[in-house]
Structure 1
Amino acid sequence: MAAKPAPPRPAPRLYLATPVLADPAPLLAVLPRLLAAADIAAVLLRLAPSDPRTLITRTKAVAGVVQAGGAALLLESHADLVARGGADGAHLTGLGEMKEWLPQLQPSRIAGVGGLPTRHDSMMAGEAGADYVLFGEPADDGTRPSSDAIAERLNWWAELFEPPCVVYALSRDEVEEFAAAGADFVLVGDLVWAEPGAEAAVLADAEAALKRGYAAAAEAAPASRG
């Protein structure tokens, strides 16, 4: 009997993190253009501290633009404001925040989890039902694993676990590397905002890198399985 071709994994997509915003107006001025420049699955809204009413108002303003552009809006933390702000979900940090908020967000909202420094933490989040796990984001002190170490964890996760994996990329080269390593989504933030006025071009370049990495992985994958 001939071996069946192995099904290809879905193509990875971009996930855009905003700067930490005290005023969303500058972002709103460019956001529609950015959402049109590349295939962005979701936007992670990072808000500067303020009172709940102000945070809800800012979330609503961004949510309308993001959702009109075909992407989901997630709040970084502030899980208590997701529903009132019209967001699609929250990005939770660490297992403690996950345990508190995941049951309250799901199934109607997305609950992604980062702040998972060990493989065991990642497994705990996956087993708890997180909608995705995030690897590679800088710690509070700015330190971060090497790109090789991040790619190794991606490979491990992609081979063994079902929940989607998001990985944080600091450069176009990392976008390509992580797409090849098995990421379902690649989170870009500082990479995009470091070049004021060129954000759309950077996103388009990141999407091209994503496609190159995915194509390279597809070429390297076994053509069939028993």
Structure 2
Amino acid sequence: MATKPVPRRPVPRLYLATPEVDDPALLLASLPGLLAGADVAALLLRLKPTDQRTMISRVKALAPAVQGSGAALLLDGHVELVARAGADGAHLTGIAAMEDALPTLKPDRIAGVGGLTTRHDSMAAGEAGADYVLFGEPDARQQRPSVEAIAERLQWWAELFEPPCVGFAASREEAYQFAAAGADFVLVGDFIWNDSRGAAAALMDAEQTIRQAYAAMPGTAKVEQE
């Protein structure tokens, strides 16, 4: 028996969710600094519901700042607006929503999915072509699994499957735990925007916390038959 090291996954990256956006000018004022100060892979834009033309205008107002920083711009739902607004993809909730969206989004745009309550649903999403799976977000009643359960699901996925997994972190402490569990991305949102120090400081802090968790992870190895 010989032991061969398994290449470590890259450092987990941030996936920043916005507050619900009504006036994009408020967000646009802070976005360049936020995205320049931390390694944000993608931004999840949550739009306040209104008519389609207005929502498209809001996306177009924000897209250059996001995409110009190298981050992907995803809409929270609103699949029908993605191409028209110039976004990079959409985040869907549940298998059915993802399957409905795939013909619109593929092959050129990102289709991420959450609302995966069982392992079977998670595997079905991956097999159907999800570009990532999200674990740990609140449901319609604002309930979510325990931190331990979310970390366990992330670890299970990271060990067995290729598509990236995302951990929904409601605090800096959760960001640490989910990065340590093997998340490829850590989604951060409300606790960043609500930080009394300002969102930029909170986001940089979250990135540093993720890097600390990654650095503390033990190396992994697998046993192969010679």
In the alignment, what sits opposite 1:169?
169
In the alignment, what sits opposite 1:93?
93
TM-score (ref. length: structure 2): 0.95
Matched, 1:44 2:38: no
CA contact (8 A) 1:135 1:165 kept: yes
CA contact (8 A) 2:131 2:164 kept: yes
Gaps of 5+ in 1: none
Give matches, 1:16-35, under 5 Å.
Answer: 16-35=16-35
Q: CA deviation at 1:37?
A: 1.2
CA contact (8 A) 1:16 1:42 kept: yes
CA distance in 1, matches of 2:127, 2:23: 37
CA contact (8 A) 1:6 1:225 kept: no
In the alignment, what sits opposite 2:133?
133
Q: CA deviation at 1:118?
A: 1.2
Q: Deviations over 1:182-216 (max 9, x none)?
A: 00000000111112561111001100111011112
CA distance in 2, matches of 1:98, 1:2: 42
CA distance in 2, matches of 1:152, 1:6: 20
Residue correspondences, number: 224
CA distance in 2, matches of 1:105, 1:224: 37
CA contact (8 A) 1:18 1:44 kept: yes
Give matches, 1:201-212, under 5 Å.
Answer: 201-212=201-212
Which residue among 215, 219, 222 is the counterpart of 1:221? 219
CA distance in 2, matches of 1:174, 1:73: 24
In the alignment, what sits opposite 2:113?
113
In the alignment, what sits opposite 1:181?
181
CA distance in 2, matches of 1:193, 1:89: 23
Q: Percent identity?
A: 65
Paired letter, 1:24: P
Q: CA deviation at 1:5?
A: 2.7
Give matches, 1:122-161, under 5 Å.
Answer: 122-161=122-161
125-134 or 102-111: bigger deviation: 102-111
Q: Deviations over 1:7-50 (max 9, x none)?
A: 11121100000001111111000000000110000000000111
Q: CA deviation at 1:151?
A: 0.3
Paired letter, 2:204: A
CA distance in 2, matches of 1:22, 1:201: 24
Paired letter, 1:163: P
CA distance in 2, matches of 1:164, 1:36: 24
Closer, same or farther: CA 56–197 of 1 in aligned 2, 3 Å: farther
CA distance in 2, matches of 1:66, 1:27: 11
Paired letter, 1:17: A
TM-score (ref. length: structure 1): 0.95
Give the alignment's Cα RMSD to 1 decimal: 1.4
CA contact (8 A) 1:76 1:91 kept: yes
CA distance in 2, matches of 1:212, 1:223: 21
Closer, same or farther: CA 197–173 of 1 in aligned 2, 3 Å: closer
Give matches, 1:74-85, under 5 Å.
Answer: 74-85=74-85
Q: CA deviation at 1:55?
A: 0.6
